[in-house]
Amino acid sequence: MPKLQLIVNPAAGAGTGGRSIPAIERLMQAGGLAYDLVRTERRGHAIELARQAALSGADVVVACGGDGTCNEVINGLKQAEAQGRRAALGVLCVGRGNDFAFAVGIPMDLAAGVAALAADARRTIDLGRVTGGVFPDGRYFGSCVGIGFDAVTTIQVSKMPRWGGFLSFFAAVLKTIFLYPYGPTVRLDVDGRTQTLPTLMVSVMNGRRLGGGFWMAPTAEPDDGLFDLCVARQASRRRILALIPHFLKGTQPGQPEIQMLQGKAIVIEAVKGVLPAQTDGEIISTEGLRLDIEMLPQSLQVVSPAAAPR
């Protein structure tokens, strides 16, 4: 039986994380799973707890929260790995968007998530690493890095009522259209192929979706060794509104403002303006001028059903 360390973010999902603890413990006990459970107390705490858990011998460290909690646990696990101790990642979805969990095939339902931990089926996925902004030494990510429009949307989500992942994100998108109609002009280098263009946003995806329902990279796979990029050129407010249904259905490839790319090494530099950026829903830059993003193939073991949802 693997040694399970559960890290619960009580604030995840507007308090859903904390309220879910009794149900989590009941399901874990009913499944006969041996575990320890700790609660995060502040931003960044899950990084410390995950590192400590892995170094102390935990076989699986379980992020109980949303995308931000998963991101912190991933970074803690990679820090422990640098010190010679590897552990797998598990996820119980008690956050809002849960886009990372969706990308790697982890059930959204809590009971099904505990059942997946009991089955202990594992897959190995890619990770990304972004350097720049408030992380000059680098930050690992599982789902995405977003520059421009979606980063500003993420900032707006944090200021809005906690209606739920998709609804909050959708309302923030509509607000951002009027707050942020013009993104930066960037020099974008993808595996040595360079172009300079005015952008609305650049989404570097390891997963497929953002905000619980916006399909930025509808054919991306988290274990193919490649990022999928969705690059949106500058557009009018009316045109942005017209593009929203395409992102909700994943039909934006082929639209004249949209360019889909793949690559392993991405460099984004601001030629005009700055680079607001987020990774896995966490703001990493508001005034930065350059981000370097690298693919780390087959970098993390995840407890999950074998096949990601199609």
Query: 131-154, pLDDT tens digit by residue?
Result: 999 999 999 999 999 999 988 888
- Looking at 94, 120, 146, the residue that finishes a domain is 120
- Looking at 67, 102, 120, the residue that finishes a domain is 120
Q: Give the confidence band of 165 by pLDDT, cuts at 50, 70, 90.
A: low
- Whether residue 273 contacts residue 234, with contact meaning beta carbons closer than 8 Å, is answered with no
Number of C-alpha atoms within 13 angstroms, CB side, residue 81? 15
Residue 275: inside a domain, yes or no?
Answer: yes
Is a pLDDT exceeding 80 seen at residue 111?
yes
Q: What is the pLDDT of residues 187-238, one digit of tens each?
A: 999 999 999 999 999 999 999 999 888 999 999 999 999 999 999 999 999 9
DSSP 236: -
Average pLDDT taken over every residue of the chain: 93
Q: What is the pLDDT of residues 78-102, one digit of tens each?
A: 999 999 999 999 999 998 879 999 9
Across the range 17-44, mean pLDDT stands at: 96
Residue 304: inside a domain, yes or no?
Answer: no
Asked if 153 and 270 sit in the same domain, the reply is yes
Burial class (CB in 10 A: 0-12, 13-18, 19+), 294: middle
Asked if 216 and 252 sit in the same domain, the reply is yes
Q: Distance between terminal CA atoms of the chain?
A: 30
Helix axes 237-249, 165-179, angle to 10 degrees: 160
pLDDT at residue 157, as a whole number: 75
By residue range, what is the domain housing residue 266? Answer: 130-298
Helix (H, G, I), strand (E, B) or coil at 229: strand
Q: Give the confidence band of 172 by pLDDT, cuts at 50, 70, 90.
A: confident
Beta bridge partners of 263: 227
With residue 269 as reference, give the H or E element that holds it: strand 265-272
Across the range 107-133, mean pLDDT stands at: 96
Residue 200: name the closest of 156, 239, 254, 154 by CA.
Answer: 239
Residue 90: inside a domain, yes or no?
Answer: yes
Higher pLDDT, 57 or 309: 57
Both tokens assigned to 203:
């989404």
CATH code where residue 71 lies: 3.40.50.10330
Asked if 67 and 158 sit in the same domain, the reply is no
Beta bridge partners of 48: none
Q: What is the pLDDT of residues 32-70, one digit of tens each?
A: 999 999 999 999 999 999 999 999 999 999 999 999 999
pLDDT at residue 310, as a whole number: 41
- Looking at 102, 120, 138, the residue that finishes a domain is 120
pLDDT at residue 309, as a whole number: 44
Residue 310: inside a domain, yes or no?
Answer: no
Only one residue has tokens 């109609």, namely 181
Q: Give the confidence band of 273 by pLDDT, cuts at 50, 70, 90.
A: very high
Residue 292: inside a domain, yes or no?
Answer: yes
- Whether residue 155 contacts residue 176, with contact meaning beta carbons closer than 8 Å, is answered with no
Beta bridge partners of 64: 8, 92
68 vs 62: CA distance, rounded Å: 13
Is a pLDDT exceeding 90 seen at residue 13?
no
Both tokens assigned to 247:
């992102």
Percent of residues, the chain, with pLDDT higher than 70:
95
Start-end of H helices in the chain: 12-19, 21-30, 45-55, 67-82, 99-103, 110-119, 149-158, 165-179, 237-249
Asked if 89 and 137 sit in the same domain, the reply is no
Q: What is the pLDDT of residues 233-272, one digit of tens each?
A: 999 999 999 999 999 999 999 999 999 999 999 999 999 9
pLDDT at residue 171, as a whole number: 84
CA 8 vs. chain centroid, Å, equals 17
Asked if 39 and 179 sit in the same domain, the reply is no
pLDDT at residue 167, as a whole number: 75
The total domain count for the chain is 2
